[in-house]
Structure 1
Amino acid sequence: MPSERAPAADFDFAASGRRVLATEVRGLEAIAARIDGAFSDACRLLLACRGRVVCTGMGKSGHVARKIAATLASTGTPAFYMHPGEAGHGDLGMVTDVDAVLALSNSGETDELLMLLPVLKRQGNALVAMTGRPDSTLAREANIHLDVGVPAEACPLDLAPTASTTAALALGDALAVALLEARGFTSEDFARSHPAGALGRRLLLHITDVMHAGDEVPRVRETATLSEALVEMSRKRLGMTAVVDGDGRLLGLYTDGDLRRTLDDATVDLRGTPISNVMTRMPKTIGADALAVEAAQLMEAHKINALLVLDGERRVVGALNIHDLLRARVV
């Protein structure tokens, strides 16, 4: 039973926290000093893997292995986590002969991992081990061993995995980033594996994904009157209308802002004035193949709320406003 004794009222929690972080920093410094040929060999092995990287570990090492698998997968190295206990009861069937295995165990003697070694060896899987004991069974049986031993755990009893799991996690990040850089992995590649994230939306959504097209685009001919243009603006509810020639090419733009300025001019007849007399002749536009984020940047730079979308021959093919970008969560 854990002790129910209350902590001393004058206990220095901040000092305890600083001691933990200092201990973990020393652990990270220790493994940083050991990044050498074995680390490079592990990177080359994983980079050459024609299958996936199967990350495995028990207990706290299992939690770290699961996170490493997620980081690898999101940065261009196909990977997944396999529970070693479940592997012995059928999940080992997920591992093919072209997969590589990354096994984590601080002691290097975890029974559930050692039980898998004969099967993995018979199947021909390359094994990278991360342990805190280079003389352990897992370290000796691995093709490549990465030493993640730390001078001490942050736990004052030197029992709870703390500095050792931080070290393993950090070395996993080092592997993932080194592989990312070696692959030439780009932000666009990252976005493709994160389509629901903010970066994915910014890098994958194109203008055509968010714009209004067809009959939804407000447009009038250059022969239209101002009142006809206002009716079109009210019907399409985008706060603007394009003014086009007979081939649909852009001649100008009329917006809600233009209307406010027109109302200030007492000489303008709202019913009979030709729209060509009051339209903006060189409005900001964007191409249909541009990214949605480019539209957001253009609107911000020029302090406008809407854009017309043109094709290569300056025909109006779409329209969008700031609300369309907000709904798509681009801004």
Structure 2
Amino acid sequence: MSFAPTPFNAQQAQALAKKTFEIEAAAVLGLASRVGEEFSQAVALMLACRGRVVVMGMGKSGHIGRKIAATLASTGTPAMFVHPAEASHGDLGMIKAIDLVLAISNSGESQELTVILPVLSRQGVPMVAITGGAQSTLAQHARVTLNCSVAQEACPLNLAPTASTTAQLAMGDALAVALLDARGFKEEDFARSHPGGALGRKLLTHVSDVMRSGDDVPQVQPDTPFTELMREMSAKGLGASAVVDAGQRVLGIFTDGDLRRLIEKGVDLRSTRAGEVMHAGPQTVRADSLAVEAVALMEQHRITSVLVVDAEGVLCGALNTNDLMRAKVI
């Protein structure tokens, strides 16, 4: 296929871009005036679905459908995409009566989709349609029809699906947001379905997941000579050491910063003991706290290490900013 070449016109390109934005924005804004009982019915049907929301669409509507299915699934509504053409060749068996079909077609007459509509109806599968064809075959089979018609496509030829697919995507997002709210879906729920993302790490990673524990935690008792305190700090590489009593309860902490400040003051450290140089009553965090809470504590008090304790104040771990950076919490 060949096209007649035309000289590139930068101003024309910019004008078309602005026109595209205007047309597609108008298409999306036009949906707002149509939100009514049909939208509420669609949300209610999807909430009542005991199986999955099966999203279907051909061509560009299929691409939009895949994104809508992904958005639904990540916001608390189990969903999957099934290609209509593949459905006619066996994949229809993936759809059960407990499922709900969300069918997308601008015209409502996509052949690959309309051919399976009677089968879905006979199986008793409820259907919600997103279409610009209010009197189309798809609309006639659907229990609820969401009108996504647009006045014109952004394409200068008024042919390529542009404004229509933008409207479909916006309608899918509107459904997902309404369902998210109706389900009481929270940040924690979102994080559980996105454990590899930044939000997932922040809301799912606890101090116990990243802290040092056991022999990796530097600790001494108050009567420990200063030289042994320094050996413990050097061996464990935390940049600090806890000072604990016989019952492992935290009494204080000694850090690299404390050492630097004592040297600057000219203190003779050779005869001192840990209890004499420690910083008493240090900041601590619980093991079951979120790692981001430890980050906030460290930022607030401008410290780089923090001790981890249990409910009785007994030392059970420690961590520093390097530990949190390795866990990608910061």
Calculate the TM-score normalised by the size of structure 1: 0.98
Q: C-alpha deviations, 1:169-216, integer Å up to 9, x for none?
A: 000000000010111110011001000000000000000000001111
Structure 2 spans left out of the alignment, 5+ residues? none
1:306 and 2:320 matched: no
Give the root-mean-square deviation of aligned CA atoms. Answer: 1.0
Distance 1:239 1:33 in 2: 62
Q: CA deviation at 1:160?
A: 0.1
- The secondary structure found in structure 1 opposite 2:265 is coil
Q: Which residue of 2 aligns with 1:61?
A: 61
Letter in 2 for 1:231: R
Q: CA deviation at 1:10?
A: 5.8
Q: After the TM superposition, which residues 308-327 of structure 1 pair with which residues of structure 2 at under 5 Å, given as runs?
A: 308-327=307-326
Q: After the TM superposition, which residues 68-147 of structure 1 pair with which residues of structure 2 at under 5 Å, given as runs?
A: 68-147=68-147
Distance 1:223 1:236 in 2: 19
Distance 1:267 1:110 in 2: 85
Distance 2:327 2:37 in 1: 47
Distance 1:310 1:329 in 2: 22
Q: C-alpha deviations, 1:289-317, integer Å up to 9, x for none?
A: 10000011111111110100000111100
Q: CA deviation at 1:2?
A: 3.5
Q: CA deviation at 1:8?
A: 4.5
Letter in 2 for 1:276: G
Q: Which residue of 2 aligns with 1:249?
A: 249
Q: Which residue of 1 aligns with 2:328?
A: 329
Letter in 2 for 1:298: L
Q: C-alpha deviations, 1:5-64, integer Å up to 9, x for none?
A: 133446422111111111111111221111111011000000111111000101000000
- The secondary structure found in structure 1 opposite 2:316 is strand
Which 10-residue stretch deviates more, 93-102 or 39-48? 93-102
Q: C-alpha deviations, 1:126-157, integer Å up to 9, x for none?
A: 00011111010001111111110000000111
1:180 and 2:173 matched: no
- The secondary structure found in structure 1 opposite 2:279 is coil
Q: Which residue of 2 aligns with 1:191?
A: 191
Q: CA deviation at 1:225?
A: 1.1
Distance 1:78 1:215 in 2: 45
Distance 2:105 2:53 in 1: 16
Q: Which residue of 1 aligns with 2:267?
A: 267
1:215 and 2:215 matched: yes
Q: CA deviation at 1:282?
A: 1.4
Distance 1:208 1:10 in 2: 57
Identical aligned residues as a percent: 55
Q: CA deviation at 1:266?
A: 2.2
- The secondary structure found in structure 2 opposite 1:264 is helix
The count of residues paired between Structure 1 and Structure 2 equals: 330
Distance 2:315 2:107 in 1: 67
- The secondary structure found in structure 2 opposite 1:286 is strand
Q: CA deviation at 1:263?
A: 1.3
- The secondary structure found in structure 2 opposite 1:242 is strand
Distance 2:288 2:181 in 1: 29
Letter in 2 for 1:35: V
Calculate the TM-score normalised by the size of structure 2: 0.98
Q: CA deviation at 1:102?
A: 0.2
Q: Are the aligned partners of 2:52 and 2:80 in contact in 1 as well (CA < 8 Å)?
A: yes
